[in-house]
Chains A and B, each alone.
Chain A
Amino acid sequence: MKIKLLPIYLTIAVMALLQSCSKDDDNYSGKQTALTLKLINPEDLNNVTLSNLSVSFKELNTGKITESSSFTNNDLSIALSEGSYEISINGKINYSAGESTVDASVSGYKESVVITGQTAVVSLNLFLKTSQSDFIIEEVFFTGTKTAEGKQYLGDKYFKIYNNTDEVLYADGLMIAQSEFMTIEKQNYTPNIMAKSFAASAIAIVPGNGTTYPIAPGAYFIIAEDAINHKEYNPGSMDLRTANFEFYTEDADDVDNPAVPNMENLFSSMIIHNRGFKSFVIARLPINKDAFLADYTYDYEYNMVIGGESYPMGESVYSIPNSWIVDAVNLSVASEFQWIVTAPSLDMGWTYCGKVDADQSRYGKSVRRKVLSTSSKGKKALKDTNNSTLDFSPEVKPSLMN
């Protein structure tokens, strides 16, 4: 009798075990949060109507993406598993500007939102998206190359700027700027102007009288660090003699190819960060240079914290209003990334060459925008969703390297 009981006990025990397992699963799905997402309209706009809103929640640990578009006005209610989320939103906006109304696109983005508890409310700022009627950054080659002896060679960096529209665009007067802040160092910069402007550590402008350098739809132009044949200096580099423009600072440690026009250094000289910690924007200057130089300085303060020590800092640079910016790309490395240094309306993602700080494998690689489609005439349409994570292919072979 006693002996016969054993299998029964065992069966009960196994069932209990299974039961508890399934209960765990129940508990897991039970740890859901009723989330209310509240969207905050862009500042200073009247009679705003939102439409075609779609939101994407990406759980950062599991990578699980939940999407929804069931908004009621500015709010969305959704049940999500507890976790840490990256939230991005796209949609259309209609608002009144004086007598008329304007149709535009909006976006919103938050890097890391922890969602826990039975209910949660998250509010998210919406930003106006810039219109895609101007150039976009197709490629940034910022890493330089490595010599046979293992040393850095930096003269061969370049930007490739593409006309993604259907019109002829003029490169004349296009500004290219490097960010002041780094994506790997987030400090409490005061005042914080990022929602409205881009803090630039260096700004260069394409020369010309306004119609000197026409660029056809689907065509591009190259701005090189030095428009020379770099193979003379590093056989593993490339020939950039055909670049359209070059950066030149009047000094013996830079060279000037007389056959290639120089970019105008509006502020500082462009020293492209070769570990990819800085971001870049292209913009149009709607005012004259002197007015910009006089009125758009940006003074900020912060406490630099390094190795447990804190150093109070004060700096002065220039700022470019977001409304002048036509395209942006954030760069970083995965091991060091802390934040993006543009407003999310300009770029809500980032791309990279190298995965850790000073990654030796990054040399000779660039970031390049993905091709959406190629027309029958051979014109490429490049992907531009203002999210560099999605729009760019990281760590690709530079298009000018052969």
Chain B
Amino acid sequence: MQLLTEYLLHILQFPLQLNTMSYCNSLLVMTKNSKAIILLLFILFSNLGFAQNINKLSIQITVKDSESKFPIKGGALTVEGVFQKYELQSDDFGSVVLESIPSGSYKIKVSHIGYVTIERNLEFTSNQQLSFELIPISVELNEVVITATESRGMTSTSVIDKKAMQHLQPSSFTDLLELLPGGRSKDPVFNASNHIKLREVGIADSNYDISSLGTAFVVDGIPINTDANLQYTTGSKMTITPGSGYANTRRNTTSKGVDMRSISTDQIERVEIIRGIPSVEYGDLTSGLIKIKRKRGRSDWESRFKADEFSKLYYVGKGFESEEKRFVLNVGLDYLNAKPDPRNSFENYKRITASIRAQKTWENDSHLLQWDSSLDYSGSMDNEKAEPNVGYAKIDRYSSDYNRFSLANSFDLKFKTAPFLKSIHVATSLSQQYDKIEQTKWVQVSNATAIPNNTEQGESDGIFLTPQYTSNLLVDGKPFDAFFKAMGDFEVRFLGITHALKAGSEWTYSKNNGKGQVYDTTHPPSPEMTTRPRSYKDIPASTDIAFFAEDAITIPLGNHQLNIAGGIRAMSLLNVPSAYAIHGEYYFDPRINAQWALPSLKIGKHALKTEFTVGTGQYTKFPTLAQLYPDYVYNDLVQLNYYHNTPEYRRINLMTYRTAAINYDLKPAINKKWEVRTDFSYDNNRFSVTYFNERLDSGFRNGSRYHALSYKKYDSSSIDPLTLTAQPDLAQMSFVMDTLLTTYNITNNGSKLLKSGVEFQFSSKRFTAINTRFTVNGAWFKTIYTNSNPVYKSGQKDIIINGKRLPYLGLYQWDDGSEKQQLNTNLIVDTYIPSLGLEFSSSFQFMWFSSGQSTPMNGTPISYIDPSGQQHPYLEENKSDPILQWLDIKYNDALFDKRTVPMSMNMNLKVSKDFYKKFRISMFVNRLFSYYQNYEINGQKIERRGLTSPYFGMELNLNL
């Protein structure tokens, strides 16, 4: 036996000692079979004697970035000896320790995504410390990607990294959307909330806000919850800056989802915009998922200063690291000050984001525990006030503040050796928000007016308003959100296939503890209020729970490979009163993605890789607090209006009705999606194209309901105003009963949103001779917006016939709808010259056409409601009735013609230059030149020249 071992050693060492390394490699490859036999023999015989002869060594290897010299985490290290093969990963400090390995020759391979793989053959004879420096691929291949990349994963996803963001020079998250297929550069708007619309043409109608409400933003694994936002103002809308629109309506985010203005980009490492079918791990969304990963790890002091015509932005941040304690700390602070109109200093927007993020790792032989914690503050202040120098001293002003504090913790426990349970992930977050709208408005009654002085249902005397007064409205919201998520990763082998399983649960709590709408009812924000002050504390919390399970498998089929991931998510709203249909209901979202990778096909020097992906899934979004618990609607009906010439004798008597505008039948919004995608890549050239189809039938919408309200009409003619000595006595007057038929708004599931289209992206390799890369992306979108619920209306406008408001209501089948289409492509030509540190890009953004067509409406109601609340079919003869004819709405047929806007093009230029690796100066000009084709609509020539002026800015980055 001893002899045999020696012989084996002799065989093995012979080529190593006598031949070159390359010969060794080829020999090893050629003798793979013999090696296996030897290995077998080796196992057969005890290795005891072997161990006696060979030294045990300890090798420590460090993996670093060749440019920054920072350690690389997660570098894959393969150490292959004759008998042994070790596969290891570098830890957070780039370190790998090989304990007690036999001395001898090894083939070492170090690789990491984004870096060039290193392969070396080394001979270990003593304990050693080695360092490998990986060269980033981007530098090696001049592969600086400054556009969004299309992920090769299971579903259509745009990935935007730090480098792309740096080149784009954004002011807020909104600016990143330019990089999506179908995206186009837009000037930042900071005096209005910014809402995301994925994969659609877009419509300015709050009835389709489900698009943005149903897009989830997840920051470091924690979703941003906006369900308890109730920052809207009651009373008539207020305009302060002429031409700027309604102060609050523009900025309102209630039930509209995340305001992207409030997300700064400087602390973000990477953004994934999942347009397709996100995993069941994520829920309470309908449209898409935005995963934001913030910067973690060691870095220099980074700073950024950006200035453009609308805003100034400052950022400073750093990452600290202690290698011994395996602890990372990142801090960041940024500030934005924007003025939507540089000449108007009375309207502005400020944003502050501050963040401290810590990461600590504990590791032993069998476990790795990583704890991530972050403490964040983000705040924004909208301000608008009337310019005091113009006209009369005006006191109108509006401010809306938002301050959010959040603490998030997550624990990742990995089991290195366990066969079934691979990891456990727990995430928690608490956030407290302080929202405040303060509106001051000078109210001048334009004629004598009375208001109710009653917050309950019943008869009461109203009060005549003072001619002018200052109204103060406070909208105080204190949303508190809690989030808890626990999830496990498992691995099972079944029928020869490895299943990567994922299962977990999510719990969300949101409550608004604010004082709500606060104002003096005798000096209301406007005389014609249909609501009353309301405390938000009385609104129950919204709590939802979800469970999910997913299985991902990979099936090799010869040279083909099939990846399938499918799962299901179950969700329920927990804290809803039983009167609601949604109470106790569980909603199930099944989702599945499958990807088929064809074998590589060698064409010329390179291989063509082809993948086909299909996916389908269902998405459920629960209603928000504002939709579940809307304000009460008040109807104040005049029973006596007695405005005597003597002020003391005046009397107004009202019947007040207080109606809960709650729709107990409200259901969640459910979207069903499917998509097919194909992806080709050849020599760093990539092309991918996706067809998608989404059907959302139950989007939240302002629907109408009617009620018949009876009230008295006092006849004051029995009282002689000239002989009156006190307020008129109601008891002395006769009255007749009358009924008012009126509508009020409720939230229903009437909005239907059908999205379909094709998204495509081609990106070339960087041509070395000219250091230039070409990207063409774009999309064709077709979006249909309709209302599937019939609507109650009293005709086209408020009609008074013969002294009476129209005593009927019509029920109209098709109230609203449009079909919109657009096709755009962006061509981005970017050049990177590393020797000069110069980076520039030109983006040619073509909108080939956009079109819109209203769906034909029938103005004739299907039925009408009479004052007693009875419903009758609306017949042909009703069209000639003096009163009922007014329910028949006449539409101009030209309203339903298709309108197409022809081609327009903008060219944007961006340039960056590095100096001494520490400074970077960048500038951009959007619409450096543009072309807008003129066209005709209804014989009306529309000239679009001169509509656009360039938008430009510059920034300075300093890294110390």
On chain A, the residues within 8 Å of B890 by CB distance are: 299, 301, 314-316
Could you tell me if A152 and B444 are in contact, using CB atoms closer than 8 angstroms?
A: yes
Return the chain A residue nearest B395 by Cβ.
A149
- A246-273 vs B, Cβ < 8 Å mask (1 yes, 0 no): 0011111111111100001111110000
Could you tell me if A310 and B800 are in contact, using CB atoms closer than 8 angstroms?
A: no
Return the chain B residue nearest A225 by Cβ.
B447
Could you tell me if A233 and B643 are in contact, using CB atoms closer than 8 angstroms?
A: no
How many Å lie between the Cα of A366 and that of B719 in the bound state?
A: 36
Total interface residues on B, using CB and 8 Å?
60
Within 8 A of A (CB), among B919-959: 937-940, 942-943
Known: A154-B447, A268-B799. A241 touches B392 (CB 8 A): no
Within 8 A of A (CB), among B629-653: 636, 638, 641-645, 647, 652
How many Å lie between the Cα of A153 and that of B801 in the bound state?
A: 27
Q: Identify A314's interface contact among B467, B719, B895, CB under 8 A.
A: B895
B588 within 8 A of A: no
Binds A, one of B449-457, B497-505, B555-563, B760-768: B449-457
> In the assembled complex, how far is the CB of residue A268 from the closest CB belonging to chain B, in whole angstroms?
5
Q: Identify B468's interface contact among A149, A228, A265, A269, CB under 8 A.
A: A149
> In the assembled complex, how far is the CB of residue A267 from the closest CB belonging to chain B, in whole angstroms?
6
Could you tell me if B883 and A293 are in contact, using CB atoms closer than 8 angstroms?
A: yes
Known: A147-B468, A303-B894. A312 touches B448 (CB 8 A): no
Could you tell me if A149 and B442 are in contact, using CB atoms closer than 8 angstroms?
A: yes
- B877-900 vs A, Cβ < 8 Å mask (1 yes, 0 no): 000111101100111111101000
Could you tell me if B447 and A312 are in contact, using CB atoms closer than 8 angstroms?
A: no
Could you tell me if B643 and A289 are in contact, using CB atoms closer than 8 angstroms?
A: no
B257 within 8 A of A: no
How many Å lie between the Cα of A259 and that of B728 in the bound state?
A: 13
Known: A256-B643, A258-B642. A265 touches B802 (CB 8 A): yes
> In the assembled complex, how far is the CB of residue A399 from the closest CB belonging to chain B, in whole angstroms?
21
Known: A312-B895, A316-B890. A252 touches B391 (CB 8 A): no
Return the chain B residue nearest A151 by Cβ.
B444
Within 8 A of B (CB), among A196-241: 225-226, 228-230, 232-234, 241
> In the assembled complex, how far is the CB of residue A200 from the closest CB belonging to chain B, in whole angstroms?
13
Q: Identify A258's interface contact among B643, B647, B796, CB under 8 A.
A: B643
Known: A233-B467, A294-B880. A255 touches B444 (CB 8 A): no
On chain A, the residues within 8 Å of B654 by CB distance are: 252
> In the assembled complex, how far is the CB of residue A155 from the closest CB belonging to chain B, in whole angstroms?
3
Within 8 A of B (CB), among A266-313: 266-269, 289-290, 293-294, 297, 299, 301-303, 305, 308-313
On chain B, the residues within 8 Å of A314 by CB distance are: 889-892, 895
Return the chain A residue nearest B805 by Cβ.
A250
Could you tell me if A258 and B644 are in contact, using CB atoms closer than 8 angstroms?
A: yes
Could you tell me if A252 and B451 are in contact, using CB atoms closer than 8 angstroms?
A: yes
Could you tell me if B881 and A308 are in contact, using CB atoms closer than 8 angstroms?
A: no
Known: A150-B391, A253-B528. A312 touches B897 (CB 8 A): yes
B462 within 8 A of A: yes
- B464-478 vs A, Cβ < 8 Å mask (1 yes, 0 no): 100110000000000
Could you tell me if B447 and A252 are in contact, using CB atoms closer than 8 angstroms?
A: no
Which of B642, B647, B652, B803 has most A Cβ within 10 Å? B803
- B608-647 vs A, Cβ < 8 Å mask (1 yes, 0 no): 0000000000000000000000000000101001111101
Could you tell me if B642 and A312 are in contact, using CB atoms closer than 8 angstroms?
A: no
Could you tell me if A249 and B940 are in contact, using CB atoms closer than 8 angstroms?
A: no
B15 within 8 A of A: no
Could you tell me if A257 and B645 are in contact, using CB atoms closer than 8 angstroms?
A: yes
On chain A, the residues within 8 Å of B817 by CB distance are: none
Return the chain B residue nearest A259 by Cβ.
B721
Total interface residues on A, using CB and 8 Å?
55
Q: Identify A308's interface contact among B450, B721, B940, CB under 8 A.
A: B940
- B747-763 vs A, Cβ < 8 Å mask (1 yes, 0 no): 00000000000000000
Known: A153-B446, A251-B638, A258-B719. A293 touches B392 (CB 8 A): no
**Number of CB contacts from chain A to chain B under 8 A:** 158
> In the assembled complex, how far is the CB of residue A298 from the closest CB belonging to chain B, in whole angstroms?
11
Could you tell me if B447 and A155 are in contact, using CB atoms closer than 8 angstroms?
A: yes
Known: A267-B800, A294-B880. A258 touches B894 (CB 8 A): no
Could you tell me if A294 and B937 are in contact, using CB atoms closer than 8 angstroms?
A: no
On chain B, the residues within 8 Å of A254 by CB distance are: 447-449, 641
- B799-826 vs A, Cβ < 8 Å mask (1 yes, 0 no): 1111101000000000000000000000
How many Å lie between the Cα of A131 and that of B636 in the bound state?
A: 47
On chain A, the residues within 8 Å of B445 by CB distance are: 233
> In the assembled complex, how far is the CB of residue B883 from the closest CB belonging to chain A, in whole angstroms?
7
On chain B, the residues within 8 Å of A232 by CB distance are: 448, 467, 647
How many Å lie between the Cα of A311 and that of B801 in the bound state?
A: 28
Could you tell me if B641 and A154 are in contact, using CB atoms closer than 8 angstroms?
A: no
Return the chain A residue nearest B713 by Cβ.
A250
How many Å lie between the Cα of A226 and that of B65 in the bound state?
A: 83
How many Å lie between the Cα of A11 and that of B722 in the bound state?
A: 92
How many Å lie between the Cα of A150 and that of B386 in the bound state?
A: 14
Could you tell me if A303 and B938 are in contact, using CB atoms closer than 8 angstroms?
A: yes
B337 within 8 A of A: no
Could you tell me if A267 and B796 are in contact, using CB atoms closer than 8 angstroms?
A: no
How many Å lie between the Cα of A290 and that of B654 in the bound state?
A: 31
Q: Identify A265's interface contact among B462, B645, B803, CB under 8 A.
A: B803
How many Å lie between the Cα of A317 and that of B534 in the bound state?
A: 41
Known: A265-B803, A266-B802. A149 touches B444 (CB 8 A): yes
On chain A, the residues within 8 Å of B451 by CB distance are: 252
B527 within 8 A of A: yes
Could you tell me if B897 and A258 are in contact, using CB atoms closer than 8 angstroms?
A: no
Could you tell me if A309 and B937 are in contact, using CB atoms closer than 8 angstroms?
A: yes
> In the assembled complex, how far is the CB of residue A188 from the closest CB belonging to chain B, in whole angstroms?
10
Could you tell me if A316 and B796 are in contact, using CB atoms closer than 8 angstroms?
A: yes
Return the chain B residue nearest A314 by Cβ.
B892
On chain A, the residues within 8 Å of B886 by CB distance are: 316
Return the chain B residue nearest A252 by Cβ.
B450
Could you tell me if A264 and B392 are in contact, using CB atoms closer than 8 angstroms?
A: no
How many Å lie between the Cα of A217 and that of B644 in the bound state?
A: 31
On chain A, the residues within 8 Å of B721 by CB distance are: 258-259
On chain B, the residues within 8 Å of A144 by CB distance are: 446
On chain B, the residues within 8 Å of A302 by CB distance are: 892
How many Å lie between the Cα of A293 and that of B805 in the bound state?
A: 14
On chain A, the residues within 8 Å of B940 by CB distance are: 303, 305, 308-310
Could you tell me if B447 and A153 are in contact, using CB atoms closer than 8 angstroms?
A: yes
How many Å lie between the Cα of A230 and that of B448 in the bound state?
A: 8
B716 within 8 A of A: yes
Which of A228, A252, A303 has most B Cβ within 10 Å? A252
Could you tell me if B641 and A297 are in contact, using CB atoms closer than 8 angstroms?
A: no
How many Å lie between the Cα of A267 and that of B882 in the bound state?
A: 11
On chain B, the residues within 8 Å of A150 by CB distance are: 391-392
On chain A, the residues within 8 Å of B468 by CB distance are: 147, 149, 151
On chain B, the residues within 8 Å of A249 by CB distance are: 800
How many Å lie between the Cα of A154 and that of B799 in the bound state?
A: 21
On chain A, the residues within 8 Å of B449 by CB distance are: 252-255
On chain A, the residues within 8 Å of B448 by CB distance are: 155, 226, 228, 230, 232-233, 254-255
On chain A, the residues within 8 Å of B393 by CB distance are: 149
Known: A149-B442, A305-B940, A315-B890. A255 touches B802 (CB 8 A): no
How many Å lie between the Cα of A266 and that of B804 in the bound state?
A: 9
Return the chain B residue nearest A251 by Cβ.
B638
Supplied contacts A144-B446, A250-B638, 12 more A-B pairs, CB within 8 Å: A149-B393, A230-B448, A252-B636, A252-B652, A255-B447, A255-B448, A255-B643, A255-B652, A256-B641, A269-B800, A303-B938, A309-B940
List 29 contacting pairs A-B, 8 Å CB cutoff, sorted by A. A149-B442, A149-B468, A153-B446, A155-B447, A226-B447, A226-B643, A228-B643, A233-B467, A234-B467, A250-B641, A250-B803, A252-B462, A252-B638, A253-B447, A255-B447, A255-B448, A255-B652, A257-B644, A259-B645, A259-B721, A267-B799, A289-B802, A290-B882, A294-B881, A303-B938, A308-B940, A314-B892, A314-B895, A316-B796
Q: Which 8 A-B pairs have the closest CB atoms?
A: A155-B447, A150-B392, A312-B894, A151-B444, A293-B882, A255-B643, A314-B892, A312-B892
